[in-house]
């Protein structure tokens, strides 16, 4: 009699007529298997590696706002004004390209290219051919770093 009842319950479960087992209240929660624990751990690591872009975005806005402030309110005759401007431009471009390209190395590389061209322009030797050569050198560096990793 009991065996027949169990078979009926199993067939009802297979047909999805019953959703709860009559012995569900007796079940004890089971521990996670090794595979489940690995999945949980990898998900936790993935969450911890996720970058929080809020801080970098606020820093990006602060850097771009500081550029006009430096232009309008800092005397260009002071010895630290030009290096300060170039450093702020470098970080603003680096954060911008890193944010847009979602790749820090490429952001630093592009920020360096434009900052180096800005320095060449300041000294009066910046031309289109110089920019093309700097960009080509950056492309070769990126290709080398990409292929080696």
**CA atoms of 9 and 23, how far apart (whole Å):** 11
Domain count, the chain: 1
Q: What confidence score (pLDDT) does residue 62 get?
A: 96
Residue 98: exposure state from Cβ atoms within 10 A (0-12, 13-18, ≥19): buried
Q: How far separated are the first and last CA of the chain, in Å rounded? A: 67
Position 108 in a domain: yes
Identify whether 137 is part of a domain: yes
Query: Given this model, what pLDDT does residue 135 score?
Result: 95
Examine residue 69 and state whether it is found in any structural domain, yes or no. yes
- Whole-angstrom distance, CA of residue 59 vs CA of residue 47: 23
Mean pLDDT calculated for residue range 44-61: 76
71-113, pLDDT tens digit by residue? Answer: 999 998 999 999 999 999 999 999 999 888 888 899 999 999 9
**Residue 111: domain span:** 53-148
Q: Is residue 42 included in any domain, yes or no?
A: no
How far, in Å, CA of 37 to CA of 46, rounded? 14
pLDDT at 19: 54
Has residue 62 been placed in a domain?
yes
In a domain, 8, yes or no: no
More confident site: 128 or 2: 128
């Amino acid at each position: 009699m009991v065996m027949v009842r169990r078979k009926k319950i199993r067939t009802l479960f297979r047909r999805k007529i019953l959703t709860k087992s009559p012995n569900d209240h007796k079940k004890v929660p089971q521990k996670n298997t090794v595979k489940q624990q690995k999945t949980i751990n990898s998900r936790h690591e993935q969450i911890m590696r996720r970058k929080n872009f809020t801080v970098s975005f606020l820093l990006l806005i602060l850097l771009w706002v500081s550029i006009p402030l430096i232009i309008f309110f800092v005397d260009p005759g002071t010895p630290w004004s030009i290096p300060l401007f170039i450093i702020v431009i470098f970080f603003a471009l680096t954060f911008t390209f890193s944010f847009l390209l979602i790749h820090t190395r490429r952001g630093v590389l592009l920020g360096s290219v434009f900052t180096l061209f800005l320095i060449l322009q300041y000294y009066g030797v910046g031309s289109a051919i110089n920019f093309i050569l700097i960009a080509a050198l950056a492309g070769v560096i990126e290709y080398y770093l990409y292929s080696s990793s």
